[in-house]
Amino acid sequence: MRQHDQRACSGLFRRPMQLPRCPLSLRPCSGEQVPSLTVQIARASNPMATVCVLQFLLGLSDRQAAEAVRCRIDFKYALALELDDPGFHHSVLAGFRERLTQDDRADRLLDLALARLKEAGLVRERTIQRTDSTHVLAAVRDLTRLELVTEAVRAVLEEVARTADHLLIGLVDADWGRRYGRPVRLGKNPTRPKTRILAAGDDAWRLLERLHRQGPGYRPGPQAEALRQIMVQNYYRDAAGRLHWRTPDDGGLAPSSSAILSPYDTTARYLGRSPDPLILVHSRDNRAAVLHASRC
């Protein structure tokens, strides 16, 4: 009988491994009522969220994570499961992540995590703390300033063509097609840079003025707003109304903390001397900014 039990335990908990660090359990404490996100989230999101955290820490695929829940005793301990719990199908993880993106459920789950951290004394208000979640590599192409303006104009043209193409009649001609018909790749030393700079700036202002004249009945999209900000950061007009290219000595440049680097991701910023300088720095209202861990 003892040998049979040993073989059963060996088959049930193969490959036991200590986790790199003990994650904080998000399960309700004894006698505590689960917050009412939805009935389904209240019943299922907490263990699934913990599985997602463990999956990220150990670099597991969905199949490997589901297998670990079924076979590994350390996973069962973290999830407070019975030893003979059969686990779940790996597709449940994908479904949980999809549901988490709906109705601000991710933020509400983060609120729950923050409450747990605060109760455990790991997060305090108005203190300097650390987090690994503020810097994320941005999936954007590194652009020169001229490429940035030119690509921003192209992005607005694509946006307007999808939503209100009649606004481009009389504005876009063959020259615009040659300049903005494909993704921009000029390099750091393009030919006739001054001519290109003024041409891109004039085209951008004409396009923005055309959209602005449509009145309250038309609302420009996010690409148009990105172009407006990019133009303010890279051009200025003198007293005579002439357009000029900003330089450090002529008009000044926007600081790196606010300079837009891509029309497709307006929150991407350069970070000092990082080996991967192009990163995504969340805005000040990002909830992750309050996750300051205690000082070293």
CB 233 within 8 A of CB 97: no
- Find the range with the poorest average confidence among 15-29, 175-189, 190-204, 225-239: 15-29
Strand-strand pairing, 278-281 and 135-137: antiparallel
Confidence of residue 129 (pLDDT cuts 50, 70, 90): low
Split at pLDDT 50, 70, 90, the class of 16 is very low
Alpha carbon 125 to its chain's center: 25
When pLDDT is cut at 50, 70 and 90, the band that residue 43 belongs to is: very low
Q: With 60 as the cut, is the pLDDT of residue 93 above it?
A: yes
C-alpha to C-alpha distance for 49 and 57, rounded to whole angstroms = 12
For residue 235, the cross-strand partners are 245
Residues 6+ apart with CB under 8 A from 289: 131, 134, 282
Q: Which of 153-157, 202-206, 218-222 has the weakest average pLDDT?
A: 218-222
> Given the structure tokens 């590599």, which residue do they identify?
137
Residue with tokens 């009988």: 1
Beta bridge partners of 284: none
Report which of 167, 129, 97, 146 is spatially closest to residue 294, judged by C-alpha positions: 129
The whole-number pLDDT of residue 2 equals 53
Round to whole Å and give the CA distance between 245 and 287.
36
pLDDT for 284 equals 38
The total number of residues shown for the chain amounts to: 296
- For residues 201-210, one letter each, b for 16 or more C-beta atoms within 10 angstroms of the residue's C-beta and e for the rest, the string is bebbbebbee
Chain position carrying tokens 């000092």: 272
Q: What is the pLDDT of residue 111?
A: 82
Find all residues with CB under 8 Å of 222, minimum gap 6, and list them.
159, 266
Residue 248's region, left for phi above 0, alpha for psi from -120 to 50, else beta, is alpha
- Mean pLDDT for the chain overall: 75
Please say whether the beta carbons of 84 and 252 come within 8 A: no
At residue 218 the predicted structure's pLDDT band, cuts being 50, 70 and 90, is confident
Identify the pLDDT of residue 184.
80
CA distances from 141 to 147, 184, 281 (A): 10, 11, 16
pLDDT, tens digit, 9 for 90 and up, residues 251-277: 888 888 788 888 988 888 776 554 444
Q: How far apart are CA 265 and CA 155, in angstroms?
A: 12
Q: Quick one: which H or E segment has residue 99?
A: helix 91-100
| Contact criterion met (CB below 8 Å) for 59 and 65 | no
- Report which of residues 69 and 8 the model is more confident about: 69
User: What band does 224 get if pLDDT is binned at 50, 70 and 90?
Assistant: very high
The structure's pTM equals 0.52
Higher pLDDT among residues 230 and 7, named by residue: 230
Cβ(226)–Cβ(260) under 8 Å?
yes
Sheet (strand 268-270) strand order = 135-137, 278-281, 268-270
With cut-offs at 50, 70 and 90, classify the pLDDT of residue 6.
Answer: low
